[in-house]
């Protein structure tokens, strides 16, 4: 069922033009055991991101354009850290915002974060409330992969913002 849902959402993303009528973010979380790190790639539509950034007092950042404000990355990092939380063994893990790049269609950005010194991916708790303060229909899809063979998919929304899992 989740694969069918993801296929429909992906089809909508690929063939949608102009403003989008759906509210979706995609997140890839990869645990690298040798590096003891969690690497995060987050795909967010620029127009939605800018509305979320306004909640932090950041108006007209012109994300992804030649007129992008100098402090745009700082605001984006703060917003993501406020909205995306990863907890291990009862302790919040603090991601470092590494930067962003425009998506191929220029409608979204890929934001990159990393969490260092993560000894294992057992007993993790993910909270993803990205853009849920703006849209009742917001869906946040998360794909979690580890180099020890774990692969899990989650859908977060207004009601279900937190999921727990283990790599075991």
Each residue's pLDDT tens digit, 73-132: 999 999 999 999 999 988 999 999 999 999 999 999 999 999 999 988 888 999 999 999
Q: Would you say residue 60 has pLDDT above 90? A: no
3-state secondary structure at position 4: helix
Residue 2: band (very low, low, confident or very high) from pLDDT cuts 50, 70, 90: very low
CB 129 within 8 A of CB 101: no
For the chain, how far is it from start to end, CA to CA, in angstroms? Answer: 23
Residue 20: what pLDDT?
Answer: 56
**Which of 167, 121, 135 has the alpha carbon at shortest distance from 48?**
135
Question: Mean per-residue pLDDT for 48-68?
Answer: 91
- 3-state SS track over 22-42: CCEEEEEEEEECCCCEEEEEE
Domain ranges (residues) in the chain? 24-165
CB 27 within 8 A of CB 141: yes
- CA distance linking residue 40 with residue 63, whole number of Å: 20
| 120: number of Cβ within 10 Å | 16
Residue 15: what pLDDT?
Answer: 42
Residue 19: band (very low, low, confident or very high) from pLDDT cuts 50, 70, 90: low
Q: How many CA atoms within 13 Å lie on the side-chain side of 97?
A: 20
Residue 1: what pLDDT?
Answer: 42
DSSP secondary structure letter of residue 136: T
Query: How high is the mean pLDDT of the chain?
Result: 87
């Amino acid at each position: 069922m989740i694969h069918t849902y993801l296929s429909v959402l992906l089809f909508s993303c690929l063939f949608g033009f102009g403003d989008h009528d759906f509210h979706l973010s995609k997140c890839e979380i990869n645990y690298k055991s040798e590096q003891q790190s969690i690497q995060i790639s987050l795909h967010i539509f620029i127009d939605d991101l800018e509305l979320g950034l306004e909640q932090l007092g950041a108006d007209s950042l012109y994300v992804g354009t030649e007129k992008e404000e100098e402090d745009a990355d700082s605001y984006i990092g703060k917003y993501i850290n406020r909205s995306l939380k990863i907890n291990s063994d009862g302790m919040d893990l603090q991601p470092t915002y590494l930067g962003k790049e425009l998506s191929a269609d220029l409608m979204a950005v890929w934001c990159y974060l990393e969490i260092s010194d993560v000894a294992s991916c057992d007993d993790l708790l993910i909270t993803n409330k990205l853009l849920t303060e703006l849209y009742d229909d917001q869906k946040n899809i998360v794909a979690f992969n580890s180099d020890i063979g774990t692969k899990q998919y989650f859908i977060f929304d207004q009601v279900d913002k937190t999921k727990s899992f283990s790599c075991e």
